[in-house]
Amino acid sequence: MTDFAAARRNMVDGQVRTADVTDLRIISAMLEVPREAFLSPAMAALAYLDLDLAVGATGGRRLVKPMVLAKLIQAADLKATDRVLDVGCASGYAAAVLARIAGQIVAVEQDAGLAQNARGALGALPNVSVVSGPLTEGWAQGGPYDAILLEGASELVPETLLRQLKDGGRLVCVLGSGPGAKAMLYRRSGADSGGRAIFDAAAPLLPGFVKPPEFAF
């Protein structure tokens, strides 16, 4: 039988701390939140491996690997009073981590089954709201936000989501697919937004964030 508490400590010590994640709030949250609780029983034994793990009935969606998630959250530079939009919350693991760091979390998910799972898993957390809607649209009615996290990769700059940030707000995501993908930090300043690459990263593409095919004539 898997010793999940020991596996969780090994994940934090071997994957998170070694990736220059120094924010003790993130380390504490990842030590507290049982990642296996956000996976199917068949996947639970894999919860603390350095993998993007499949969730949902179709298996097309995945939890972002712990190291990438931790570094994205650290780059967002969250404050205890921040309002955060978690885009593509899947079964709710990252929202549970964010809830221990920031003030209010709005977790949006378009897959009905995953949204239901997230509500069940996060129901005891008073500062998390799970909402249903297209991921590319975010959740404007709950904004503006101090920070936005995309739980996956986008091949496009998420302009619609950037408009849901407060002035000075931050958005973190993985931009691109394949070996050239980068984790990005965007910041809104007035009506404009700018971004910069912060580390090499790969993550599963989120639905709707795929670049349209280009036709050559």
What lies within 8 Å, CB to CB, of 114 at 6+ separation is 55, 56, 61, 89, 90, 91
Length of the chain: 217
Model confidence over 27-44: pLDDT tens digits?
999 999 999 999 999 999
Per-residue pLDDT, 59:
59
Q: What is the pTM of this model?
A: 0.94
Alpha carbon 188 to its chain's center: 19
Q: How far apart are CA 39 and CA 45, in angstroms?
A: 9
Question: Residue 212, SS3?
Answer: coil
Q: Is the peptide bond before 204 cis (omega within 30 degrees of 0)?
A: no
How big is the CA angle at 28 (ends 46 and 167), to the nearest 5 degrees?
A: 105
Element (H, E) at 147: strand 145-154
The CATH number fitting domain 4-200, selected from 3.40.50.150, 3.20.20.80, 3.30.1490.20, 3.50.50.60: 3.40.50.150
Question: Would you give per-residue pLDDT tens digits along the chain (217 residues)?
Answer: 779 999 999 999 999 999 999 999 999 999 999 999 999 999 999 999 999 999 976 657 999 999 999 999 999 999 999 999 999 999 999 999 999 999 999 999 999 999 999 999 998 899 999 999 999 999 999 999 999 999 999 999 999 999 999 999 999 999 998 788 999 999 999 989 999 999 999 999 999 999 877 655 5
Per-residue pLDDT, 209:
94
What lies within 8 Å, CB to CB, of 1 at 6+ separation is none
DSSP, residue by residue, 20-83:
T---HHHHHHHHHS-GGGGS-TTTGGGTTSSS-EEESSSS-EEEPPHHHHHHHHHHTT--TT-E
